[in-house]
Chain A
Amino acid sequence: MKKMKLVMVGNGMAGVRTLEELLKLTPDLYDITVFGAEPYPNYNRIMLSPVLAGEQGIQDIILNDIDWYKQNNITLHLNKKVAHIARKNKVVVAEDGTEAEYDRLLLATGSSSFILPVPGKELAGVVGYRDIQDTNAMIAAAEKYKHAVVIGGGLLGLEAANGLALRGMDVTVVHIMPWLMERQLDDNSAQMLQSALQAKGLKFMLEQQTQELVSDGQGRVKSIRFKDGNEIPADLVVMAVGIRPNVALAEAAGIYCNRGIVVSDTMQTYDPSIYAVGECVSHRGTAYGLVAPLFDMAKVCANHLARMGIAYYQGSVTSTKLKVTGVDLFSAGNFTGGNETNQIVMHDVTGGKYKKLVLNNNTLIGAVMYGDTKDSSWYFQMIRDGKNVAEIRDQLIFGQSHLGNAGSQGQNLAATMTNAMEVCGCNGVCKGTIVKAIKEKGLFTLEDVRKHTKASASCGSCTGLVEQILASTVGGAYAPQATTVKPLCDCTTHSHEEVRKAIREEKLISIPQTMTFLNWNTTNGCAKCRPALNYYLLCAWPHEAKDDPQSRFINERANANIQKDGTFSVVPRMYGGITTPQQLRRIADVAEKYNVPTVKVTGGQRIDLLGIKKADLPKIWADLDMPSGYAYAKALRTVKTCVGSEWCRFGVQDSTQMGIDIERAFDHMWMPHKFKVAVSGCPRNCAESGIKDVGIIGVESGWEIYVAGNGGIKTVVAQFLVKVKTHDEVMEYTGAFAQLYREEAHYLDRTVHYVERVGLDHVKKHVVENAANRKALYARLLYALQGATNPWSKENINVCEFESLAI
């Protein structure tokens, strides 16, 4: 089949990202031709600021070198500006006459610096701040001249001013508004920012209007004159007063433009064979000037160019960070507020800290922070998710670390860490390594950083810290994805919710069926999605969907935990932590017979046999004749108990029996992640019920039930759900909560993550307040567990899994 022709005009960040996304989806659909007006391959425009500041060189910021275009068979025309689009014949023509035919055209022409229409604007020494050429001109001027004036006190202007000052110039920032960065900051934070920059040597003239740029008589600028008659020397004038989308080309071709090239939610212009992405675009009336939204557009556009046709761009919430070393500043969303909103403000003038949160009812809609931005990603995520913050509202302003979080997330200020300090404890990655990878490899997302450095790729507890480092390195280019719409993995654009809904509503009962129905872009998924799908199917259609062992992690396939040397560990159930001399004797005999190198008492009140060869597992299970403890599974793990009222002088309830009953009733329960329960006989809480998925505490008059605790990566205290009187009620409430979690959580979310997402009120509504719903949940769980048997018993063992071949 003949390939279609795709031509792209504009070789910048949004356009090339679209090509990258497209090549990922369909490497062979198009013959691709690219026109770029600049003489360089695609580079990281946002890093021009560190280049100007002398922190990086031009060669460090190239994102796709010439070889990349070659490897992907892309015809690249550098230094060729497209002058004309002939839509009738579907041809574009460059200024030098080069032509290219297209079946699909992609416009990614970006924008240009807006140059104030004042006398003298064409003088030498007057530049915008947009590309490598501008940057080089500024660097050259700094070597020769003394006085620089930057017109515009926005993000770009301040970064330019900072860079020029670092290169030794005497810099004045001229701004027309009463305070700096008025589109991102309120007056308080802007004032703090101005003081910090003044301390670095910058000068400011606010509420000043430029009248004229004065020539030195030889065609170069010499000073700047204001409306009020004031005049200051200027050998270099940088105009950073805004950008204008490059729409002339499109407009001349008759494509509808309104400040930007107008596109639909599929990134299509009014001509169906022409798409547009990036800063040149106007989407639902908004033109974006930061890369994060452009990358979202790129994804959607690629999806349609690849003829998958399922993605929609629905606009973005953006955030801002200033890339000036030593200044911590963040703003996102609507921070000015209005009639329906209210604000929480913390302002420490001496300490140099300012924080303002804007809320609409109980949703966070905007935030401004100065001085202490360590919680910015956390707030931003909540803004994007539209999360209800009622439960944490009174502590919201103090940040994430205040919410009973003992882990390392958000505890350190990323900016104050030295490069040698370790960020990721699991993989031994230091801050310097992360910053270097972000800069050199042009990484923009958490996922990218994980892939390249492994930081936060294991336990994830340093995710917050890595996000901060990313945000402070790439500025506003960083945007966490809204958790609710995150695709399940790279094989699909659908979120966990969408997948679960389709499985339920379309009655999908197998993995291939689900992948086909939802247009998976791989033939048999990956190690991330297959286990999730397998679980979702089993949960939605118990007794109907068939388990797929090949889509389970090895531990759940071998019913034992793989160890670092490839041997396995075996943990039999000891219901409620109670054992007998017979059991202990059997365990001892097995340990001797099979030369088990290590026998350990686990943290879950039972015994672990470690270092077992895979082939020996079935024999050991048979000899032990004890049920599997599921220590390897996303399932009910242990139910920890204390001695309780049977023995303990303080015990008021029989916690041991309660624990045993729960462990027996909910055995074999597949779950989104592991599920741990503890039962204590009195509020002294010796079974540590406060940090379990379900924690039960006996009191004189009955039982208190707590949920969503976690004792792992970050310790989170369980929240009080309800107090009940009887044994049967404990079973019913525990079961109903477990089932709600099973039905609604994302795969690999512990209960703490799930409840954090949906809110405890949601859980109470379904499990406590609505009795009929609680009973229905409980009934669904019991139905799912019907007939489940011990995976270690002979009839459940798949011999093929354990026997090896030989030659």
Chain B
Amino acid sequence: MNTWHEVTTLEEIPPLGARVVTTKQGDIALFRTAEGEVFALLDRCPHKGGHLSQGIVFGKKVTCPLHSWNICLDDGKAVAPDVGCTRSYPVKVENNVVYLSLA
């Protein structure tokens, strides 16, 4: 079962931007797309651990700031031809409040 943690409000994440959430499992990056969708990934690039939260967000992807791999926000997979995957976490937005599950 998912335990939802209230994290922040939608307004607190800039569109096409990200916020970092510090948790017991490590830093998690919360991304917001132009359409207002929110995604959560472990803040570690599958390449060499770059902080994805610091990248440029476009469509449903983020470009890692260290060596420009593109990572899909919905499943954490690197865009081909790069291969690798970073952990993704369930998120929901209700009445503009963002909830994150660490399950």
Contact = CB atoms under 8 A, between A and B. Distances in A.
A524 B60 CA distance: 10
Contact of A800 (B14, B34, B63): B14
Interface stretch (A68-76, A548-556, A604-612): A548-556
Interface in A540-565: 549-554, 558, 562, 564
B11 to A, nearest CB: 10
Nearest to B23: A807
Nearest to A807: B5
Contacts of A525: 58
Nearest to B14: A550
Interface stretch (A6-14, A28-36, A526-534, A586-594): A526-534
Given A522-B58, A523-B34, A554-B55, A804 B22 contact: yes
A566 B12 contact: no
B58 A800 contact: no
B57 A550 contact: yes
B20 to A, nearest CB: 4
A549 B16 CA distance: 10
Interface in A411-450: none
Interface string B49-74: 11100111111000101111010000
B56 A550 contact: yes
Interface in A717-762: none
B63 A550 contact: no
Interface hub of B48, B55, B65, B100 (most chain A Cβ within 10 A) = B65
B97 interface: no
B65 A806 contact: no
Interface in B31-50: 34, 48-50
Given A551-B56, A806-B21, A800 B12 contact: yes
A550 B16 contact: yes
A522 B58 CA distance: 9
Interface string B1-36: 000010110001011110111110001001000100
A452 B100 CA distance: 35
A501 interface: no
A531 B58 CA distance: 12
A524 B51 contact: no
Nearest to B5: A807
B23 A526 contact: no
A530 B58 contact: yes
A527 B8 CA distance: 26
A771 B57 CA distance: 44
A307 B94 CA distance: 39
A199 interface: no
A805 B20 contact: yes
A117 to B, nearest CB: 48
A507 interface: no
Nearest to B24: A807
Given A550-B15, A554-B54, A807-B21, A524 B8 contact: no
Contacts of A551: 16, 56
A748 to B, nearest CB: 13
Nearest to A562: B65
Nearest to A426: B67
B41 to A, nearest CB: 15
A663 to B, nearest CB: 28
Contact of A522 (B17, B19, B59): B59
A807 B99 CA distance: 10
A417 B51 CA distance: 38
B58 A526 contact: yes
Contacts of B19: 800, 804-805
Contacts of B49: 566
B65 A553 contact: yes
Give 6 nearest A-B pairs by CB, closest first: A527-B63, A804-B20, A527-B56, A554-B54, A550-B16, A566-B51
Interface of A: 451-452, 458, 522-527, 530-531, 549-554, 558, 562, 564, 566, 800, 804-807
Given A524-B58, A525-B58, A807-B21, 12 more contacts: A523-B34, A526-B58, A527-B55, A527-B68, A530-B56, A530-B58, A549-B17, A550-B15, A550-B16, A800-B19, A804-B19, A805-B20
24 contacts: A523-B59, A524-B34, A524-B59, A526-B63, A527-B55, A527-B56, A530-B56, A550-B17, A552-B56, A554-B55, A554-B56, A554-B65, A562-B51, A562-B65, A564-B66, A566-B49, A566-B50, A800-B19, A804-B27, A805-B8, A805-B19, A805-B21, A806-B21, A807-B100
